[in-house]
Amino acid sequence: MPLDAFTYMFLARELDDNLAGGRIEKIAMNASQNIMLYIHTLNGQRNLLFSMGVSPRCYISKERIQSLPVPISFLMHLRKHIGGGIIKKVECEQFERILKFHIISRTELGYEKEYVLIAELMGKYSNLLLTLSDGTITEALKHIPLSESHPIVPGIKYLTPSTINKINPLSAESDILLDYTPSEIVSMAMGLSQITAKEIQNEAKSSGINFSKACQKLLGSKLNPQILKGNNGLVEDFTAFRYSSVDCSQINAQSLSEAMDSYFLPKEKEKAFKNESNKLKKIVSAAMDKQKKKLGLFLNEEASAKDYENEKKIGELITANIFKIKNGDNMVIVTDWESGEDISIRLTEKTPVEDAQKHFTRYHKKKRTLQALQSQITDARKNLEYLESIDASIDSAVYPEDLSDIYEELVSYGLATSQNERKKKKEESLPRVFQIKGFTILIGKNNLQNDKITKQARGEDLWLHVQGIHGSHVVIKCGNTSVPQEILETAAKAAAFFSKARLSENVPVDYPKIKYVHKPKGAAPGKVEYFSAKTIYVDPSIQDLSIDS
- The pLDDT of 511-534, averaged and rounded, is 91
Q: Which positions ≥6 away from 206 have C-beta within 8 Å?
A: 244
Count of alpha carbons within 13 angstroms of residue 511, beta-carbon side: 27
227 and 241 Cβ atoms separated by less than 8 Å: no
Closest CA to 202 of 186, 222, 189, 218: 218
Judge whether 386 and 525 are in contact, CB under 8 Å: yes
CATH superfamily entry for domain 5-140:
ibrinogen binding protein from staphylococcus aureus domain (2.30.310.10)
Tell me how crowded residue 188 is: count the other CB atoms within 10 A of its CB: 17
Average pLDDT over residues 71-97: 95
Range list of H helices, 21-132: 73-82
Backbone angles phi, psi at 435, to 5 degrees: -115, 120
pLDDT tens by residue, 466-480: 999 999 999 999 888
Q: Are strands 226-229 and 235-239 parallel, antiparallel or unpaired?
A: antiparallel
The predicted pLDDT at position 165 comes to 82
pLDDT-based confidence at 339, cuts 50/70/90? Answer: confident
* 11 closest CA partner among 80, 97, 86: 97
Residue-range domain boundaries for the chain: 5-140, 172-261, 274-428, 430-538
pTM of the model: 0.70
pLDDT grade for 419, boundaries at 50, 70 and 90: low
Alpha carbon distances (Å) from 391 to 290, 407, 430, 465: 15, 11, 19, 16
423: alpha, beta or left? (left if phi > 0; alpha if psi -120 to 50):
alpha
Distance from C-alpha of 15 to C-alpha of 260, rounded to nearest angstrom: 13
> Rounded distance, CA 489 to CA 462, Å?
12
**Is the pLDDT at 295 greater than 70, yes or no?**
yes
Order across the sheet with 535-538: list the strands.
432-436, 439-443, 474-477, 462-466, 507-510, 535-538
CA 433 – CA 441 distance, rounded (Å): 6
Contact (Cβ atoms closer than 8 angstroms) between residue 313 and residue 360: no
Residue at 257: amino acid letter: S
- Return the pLDDT at 421: 46
CA gap 376, 185 in Å, rounded: 68
Distance in angstroms (rounded) separating the CA atoms of residues 349 and 330: 8
Nearest CA-CA partner of 519 in 453, 445, 451: 451
Q: What span, in angstroms and rounded, lies between the C-alpha atoms of 313 and 295?
A: 29
Residue with the bigger pLDDT between 431 and 48: it is 48
- pLDDT higher for 180 or 232? 180
User: In terms of DSSP H, where are the helices of 58-156?
Assistant: 73-82
> What tens digit of pLDDT does each residue of 432-454 get?
899 998 899 999 998 989 999 99
Give the rounded percent of residues in the chain with a pLDDT score beyond 70.
97
Q: What share of the chain is helix, strand, coil (3-state, %, to 5)?
A: 40, 25, 35
CA distance between the termini of the chain: 34
Distance CA 116, CA 136 (A): 10
- Mean pLDDT of the 223-228 span: 94
Alpha-carbon distance of 425 to 4, in angstroms, equals 39
pLDDT digits (tens, 9 = 90+) for 143-160: 999 999 899 999 999 998
Which range of 18-27, 369-378, 381-390 scores highest in mean pLDDT? It is 18-27
Q: How far apart are CA 132 and CA 375, in angstroms?
A: 71
